[in-house]
Amino acid sequence: MPVHADLSIRPGDLDDPRVVALLLTHVERARAETEPGSSHALDMSGLRAADVTFWAAWRGEEVVGLAALKRLSATHGEVKSMHVADSARGRGTGSSLLDHIVAAARQAGLTRLSLETGSWDYFRPARRLYRRFGFVECGPFGDYRLDRNSVFMTIQLETAQASAAPMPPAASAA
């Protein structure tokens, strides 16, 4: 995937009001675009968990995207809280964030990466992005249950597209 020179991905600072504002937008939209009880977006407390690494994407002083990696086991991780600001959509931000997560997962020794996203039209661009990276639909994993509002996807990292650039070890935000 392309690396965008004007984009910086670094550990997410949940004390930065700009990051918090984009996170709140993400959580509110995820809940608005899914039936009650079917939104699985992590809020601030979820992103502070020890098994979660959280990043923010920046263009200059503007936070333009968010993403997290949750470790489910020694070999399995989950993409969480992927969100791109409206102002940055269609500019490669989502691809760069997902590329960063895949690279961090590999560095952490994970061999499988999974995710849950919505089944509604609002989530169609996200599903296209994940498919471009090689994710395929699968059944529920972890604590998820079958839900008509959810689409579950997974990829074996041995067959995943190679990262555009090596990433430093994952750093947890806290």
**Is position 1 within any domain?**
no
Structural domain count, the chain:
1
In this prediction, what percent of the chain has a pLDDT beyond 70? 85
Instruction: State the sign of the Cα–Cα–Cα–Cα dihedral 20, 103, 93, 29.
Output: negative
Domain containing residue 33: CATH number: 3.40.630.30
Question: CA-to-CA distance for 124 and 25, rounded, in angstroms?
Answer: 18
125-167: pLDDT as tens digits? 999 999 999 999 999 999 999 999 899 999 999 744 444 433 3
H-type alpha helices, 33-173: 44-47, 93-107, 124-132
- Which structural domain, as residue segments, surrounds residue 145? 8-156
Instruction: Specify the length of the chain in residues.
Output: 174
84-100: pLDDT as tens digits? 998 898 889 999 999 99
Question: CA-to-CA distance for 19 and 21, rounded, in angstroms?
Answer: 5
**Is position 128 within any domain?**
yes
3-state secondary structure at position 126? helix
Question: CA-to-CA distance for 91 and 148, rounded, in angstroms?
Answer: 30
Predicted confidence at residue 41, as pLDDT, reads 76
**Is position 172 within any domain?**
no
